[in-house]
Amino acid sequence: MLKIDKLITSGLRLNLLRYFLAENPKAKVSIRQLSRELNYSPSHVKRELEVLESAGILRSEQIGNQKVYYKTYSGPLENVFKSEPHILLDKIKDVTGIDVAYVYHMFSDEFKMVIIGRPDIYFLNRIVRNIENEGDFSVQFDVYNKEEVYKRILPKPLFFIVGDEKYLEQIKSRSIKREEIKRRLKDYRKRRWER
């Protein structure tokens, strides 16, 4: 499997290519909108957009007082990005009941994920099977509900599909707080009983 992130070393350029070639091929967006969506500074986004425009992948036009960019390239690079695991794994967002989903292990033909929430397991299995057939790699996942996250030592995420690092920490801290409250209440009842 081709590792695009090894070939294109600029994280923002890689995200812009994914955005225009795979995720939103018909998008016409401004620099400011892209900087908000991708969480980069507008000057950095502008510089990378100009590089992609000079390469012939994007074209820009002035609409009112904004410059918007859109995809003009059509070729094999599109197919590479559309079959990229990140894009295929994005289909997991369609499963309801998932609070956080992230990949923690990635090898040439294997992905391991952690899913937190109460997803429809039947639908999740069907989606994962479709992803495996389409991408020619295997996906393994562990599902935990929010209440049991504090009991687990979760592996460190490589990239998030649903949620983010901040939300994961909130879930962990809420679970820990609930367990701490239960423990304190139990201690209080025990002390009260001993009186």
pLDDT band of 2, cuts 50, 70, 90 = very low
The amino acid present at 75, given as its one-letter code, is G
* 77 closest CA partner among 135, 17, 28: 17
CATH label, 4-82, candidates 3.60.20.10, 3.40.50.970, 1.10.10.10, 1.10.275.10: 1.10.10.10
pLDDT tens per residue, range 123-181: 999 988 888 887 777 888 999 988 788 777 888 887 788 888 888 888 777 666 666 67
Q: What is the CA radius of gyration of the chain?
A: 22
Angle of helix 11-18 relative to helix 42-54, nearest 10 degrees? 70
Instruction: Parse the chain into domains and list their residue ranges.
Output: 4-82, 85-187
Any idea which fold 85-187 has?
A: GMP Synthetase; Chain A, domain 3 (3.30.300)
Report pTM: 0.52
Q: Residue 22 pLDDT more than 80?
A: no
Burial group, residue 16, by CB count within 10 angstroms (0-12, 13-18, 19+): buried
Written as six digits, the tokens of 122 are: 């039947």
Gap between the Cα atoms of 85 and 135, Å rounded: 7
